[in-house]
Amino acid sequence: MNKKLNFLESSFCKVLRPPQLNLRIIKPSSMAVFAFVLFALFIVFAGVIYDLIVEPPSIGVEYGFGNERPVTILKGRLNSQYIFEGIDGALFYLLGSLGLILIDQALTKERREKYGKIMFYTGVGLFACSFVIIIFFIKLKVPGYLKR
């Protein structure tokens, strides 16, 4: 049995020589993968695919009193955006989520008291402000939001 297997091994290795790849198996930590997923989420929430297909302008223009003023948010229509507007919106979505993640990190891990306090209050502030700002943006886009 051993002789047969040795013969098999030597003949096989003579015919095919796999290259000497010094591969290392990379095992990223779960939080690194989470950061990558968050980045991918940012790109999709920003409507990058919409930008690629519909090719809107990067910012809008408002004419008044003989000059042109830049306008960030496309008013009135729901499923359309300028490029910068998409990135703005996605930024505030993610800041709000990061605020909540900061709250969770502050309250579940042991660290120095100063840092715990900073993380908690920053998290609360980020979440509350992002929520209010997004609602303000949506009121610009959808006329009559939350009105009869």
Partner 1 sequence: MSWYPLGRVVGGTVFPGIMLTAGTLYFFLKKIVRITVHIKHVCVFMGPFFASNASLITYLFTKEVSKDYGAGLISAVMIAIVPGYISRSVAGSFDNECIAIFALILTYYLWLKAVNTGSMFYAASCALAYLYMVSSWGGYVFIMNLIPLHAFVLIIVGRYSKRLYVAYTTLYILGTLLSMQVPFVGFQAVQSSEHLAGMGIFGLIQLVAAVKYVHSILGEKYFKLFLKILGFIAVSILVLFVVIGFATGYIAPWTGRFLSLLDPTYAKKYIPIIASVSEHQPTAWSSYFFDLQSLVFLYPVGLYYCFKNPSDSKIFLILYAVTSTYFTGVMVRLMLVLAPICVILGSMALSNLFKLFAYKIREFDEENKNKKKSQNKNTKKQNKKKKKTEQNKIFNLGYISATLMIAVLTAMFISYIFHSIWVTSEAYSSPSIVLAAKGYDGNRIIFDDFREAYYWLRQNTAPDAKIMSWWDYGYQITAMANRTVLVDNNTWNNTHIGTVGKAMVKTENISAQVMEQHDVDYVLVLFGGLIGYSSDDINKYLWLVRIGGTVDPSIKEEDYLNSRKEFRVDSQGAPTFLNSMMYKLCFYRFWEVKTEGNKPSGYDRVRNTVMGNQNYELEAVEEAFTSEHWIVRIYKVLKKENRK
CB 26 to partner 1: min, Å: 12
Site string for partner 1, 69-108 (x = CB under 8 A): ---------xxxx---xx-xxx--xx-xxx-xx-xx-xxx
The tokens for 89 are 């919106």
d(CA 19, CA 9) in angstroms, rounded, equals 16
**Of the residues 53, 64, 65, 67, which one makes contact with partner 1 according to CB under 8 A:** 53
The residues, any chain, with a CB within 8 Å of residue 42's CB and separated by 6 or more, are 90, 91, 94
What is the C-alpha separation between 50 and 80, in angstroms, rounded?
Answer: 8
Chosen residue from 71, 129, 133, 138 binding partner 1 by CB under 8 A: 138
| Residue-wise burial string across 79-106, b where 16 or more C-beta atoms lie within 10 A, e elsewhere | eebbbbbbbbbbebbbbbebbebbbeeb
From 26, 67, 128, 136, residue interacting with partner 1 (rule: CB under 8 A): 128
Q: How do strand 60-64 and strand 67-71 relate by DSSP bridges?
A: antiparallel
Residue 120 in contact with partner 1, rule: CB under 8 A: yes
Using CB under 8 A as the criterion, which residues of the chain lie in contact with partner 1 when the complex forms? Answer: 5, 8-9, 12, 16, 18, 30-31, 33-34, 37-38, 40-41, 44-50, 52-54, 78-81, 85-86, 88-90, 93-94, 96-98, 100-101, 103-104, 106-113, 116-117, 119-120, 124, 127-128, 130-131, 134, 137-138, 141-142, 144-146
